[in-house]
Structure 1
């Protein structure tokens, strides 16, 4: 029997026997699992809340779920709990790996860390290991992320494996296979007509609102735009621990009328908002293949983003499809002014971003998955 085991730290929600999780993740996994007879997911699950707008369900007729605790070690009480949680998780992982004909591990993450240790015991099992973070060994990352990267990259510890990473990196072993990810099908590539920049500049932020994404940058940029007398609106799509703080900051800086916080929205809302927006402001500290950037480019929304992971490859080494910047609102404004002064420059960059991103469709992603077996 062709059975696939998925190990992930993504939190799932169970409702009426159906399992939901973060939409972009499940949309990708539904492509991985469609040709498998049996699929087992080993991951944390909650039964006490309903799926949100951003969550979608797995689509497979024979999906089994093995719930494990969502352990962490960020506090002393959590560390004491982990003393009994981790052995239980390790036992479940080993048991499920022994049953599966193929193993799929999502790293980096807490579950992935344990999964990478356990998979060493199964050298003959075919494995696909998806490294969804920044594979750059020179980047600043938590020690646990580096441990997972090193185990995955080691041909001694990790055998019979294809490690999927974003971008091309010189220190990668023969385990490593460069890959991309995708959000849209080719049929969704509709024409985009942007409103003139001279009427109103439309900016967007898409993602979780927490410190790693530097969401405050857009608020400070908004203040600078207002000081220059530029008519604009800034839409935040996403939620997170800093949302209330960001709303308060927008009020303190006097831009609350121009800045809108929508919270988590549907995939269709994202398409509409990015299609209407001129610029994405996304100065994240670390990424793998940032879907916010790829999706913005798909809809001709020029990204102003940070040079992390494979992002320079996405926007072009000469920045012909976007702008690479540090977290400095004044420099972001300076880089934006040439576009505001030259509509043709903006339209050319928007078009090149769109053409590049639309090469990476779900159909092409599915073709690459099929090659992996």
Structure 2
């Protein structure tokens, strides 16, 4: 079987190795292990820091296409001029594929969504890694992709893997998940003491979307109100320096620490001990920064975005985390929960039990069925 993957995620060639963003590689290794031949169509240039790792198999055919960008007139003109060439490349690749796998959303992904219409008989899957919530405010390109993929006339013989379970969806849409751990990784949950020193985590890209400064300010407010909480921040991004400056300026160093990018093994050790993990994103797909800490009984404190409300309450109405609907009163909401020790123990256990349903073993099995 020949698998053709189209993604906006860049493939980086370094020292004769093909690499990409580490979580993406970890997932795609599972897909690639089940096919004979792999072709990835993606950009091959990226000039920002990126946590990468090599693919398990290196016999991947990489077809480089320019990143389609429209934030400046000059770049937009060049992108528009390259679209006909990219269209032809995608057509030839799809014609030779046994299975087409699109990684959405993205500008190259949008073009791929249009091209796949010409191949109604080809078996196709789409991993929609963004927010599938029909009510979410999103860029026009994202809305177009969702409409094309949901349309059973335009998108035939296709399964769209979307995060969350929403009503009135077409038969193309399959609620799905992402996993980080195997069954063999499961260990007994450490019982936390919520009456003493508390430890919170932030894990993710330090970008405007993730709002790490808000996390720092919430912890700062809690400290000022007498709550003994520390914060460890794992990740890097464009806000690293400004965040570091804010911490130094406000003398928060004793209880807020920046660790930069760290391997999953180091972050996992932090999850096992921490009481809480923050996610205050404006937009998300399947937030690993919620699912991963839950796996270890670490209670998420998260904004009600994308599938997060379903993750934290679901159809069973169990409480598995602290849902923040208004950031202005986040500190007060957290303090209210801190007065409920028994409730927090129950929440921790509920979080672990729910997250441990979604292992890489199950993920691997579901991929095999899709292929």
TM-score class, shorter = over 0.9
Contact in 1 for aligned 2:34/2:368 (Cα 8 Å): no
Q: Does 1:251 align with 2:248?
A: yes
User: Counterpart in 2 of 1:137?
Assistant: 134
Checking the alignment, whether the CA contact within 8 Å between 1:304 and 1:332 is kept in structure 2 is no
Distance 2:293 2:229 in 1: 18
Cross-structure match for 1:19:
18
What do the CA deviations read for 1:272-298 (whole angstroms, capped 9, x no partner)? 111121111111111121111000101
Distance 1:294 1:47, change over 3 A: closer
Quick check: 1:194–1:276 contact (8 Å CA) kept in 2? no
Alignment partner of 1:280 out of 264, 277, 289: 277
Structure 1, unmatched stretches of 5+, are: none
**Deviation at 1:248?**
2.0
Contact kept in structure 1, 2:10 and 2:45, CA below 8 Å = yes
Write out the 4+ residue segments of structure 1 that deviate beyond 6 Å after TM superposition: none
8 A contact 2:163–2:285 mirrored in 1: yes
- Is 1:363 aligned to residue 344 of structure 2? no
- Bigger shift: residues 252-261 or 21-30: 252-261
Matched with 1:297 is 294
Of stretches 218-227 and 56-65 in structure 1, the one that deviates more from structure 2 is: 56-65
Q: Is the 8 Å Cα contact of residues 11 and 46 (structure 1) preserved in structure 2?
A: yes
Give me the whole-angstrom Cα distance separating, in 2, the residues matched to 1:109 and 1:319. Answer: 34
- Root-mean-square deviation (CA, aligned residues, Å) is 1.9
The corresponding residue for 2:38 is 39
Q: Distance in 2 between matches of 1:249 and 1:319?
A: 37
CA distance in 1, matches of 2:219, 2:166: 36
Structure 2 gap segments, 5+ residues each:
none
> What residue in structure 2 maps to residue 372 of structure 1?
370
Which SS does the other structure have where 1:312 is aligned? Answer: helix
1:344 maps to 2:342: yes
Distance 1:247 1:25 in 2: 28
Residues 57-88 of structure 1 show CA distances to partners (whole Å, capped at 9, x for unaligned) of 22236321111112211112211221333223
Distance apart, 1:103 and its partner CA:
0.3
Q: Report the 3-state secondary structure (helix = DSSP H, G, I; strand = E; otherwise coil) of the residue aligned with 2:209.
A: helix
Query: TM-score by structure 1 length?
Result: 0.94
- The question of whether the paired residues in 2 share the 8 Å contact of 1:194 and 1:277 is answered with no
Give the total of aligned pairs: 369
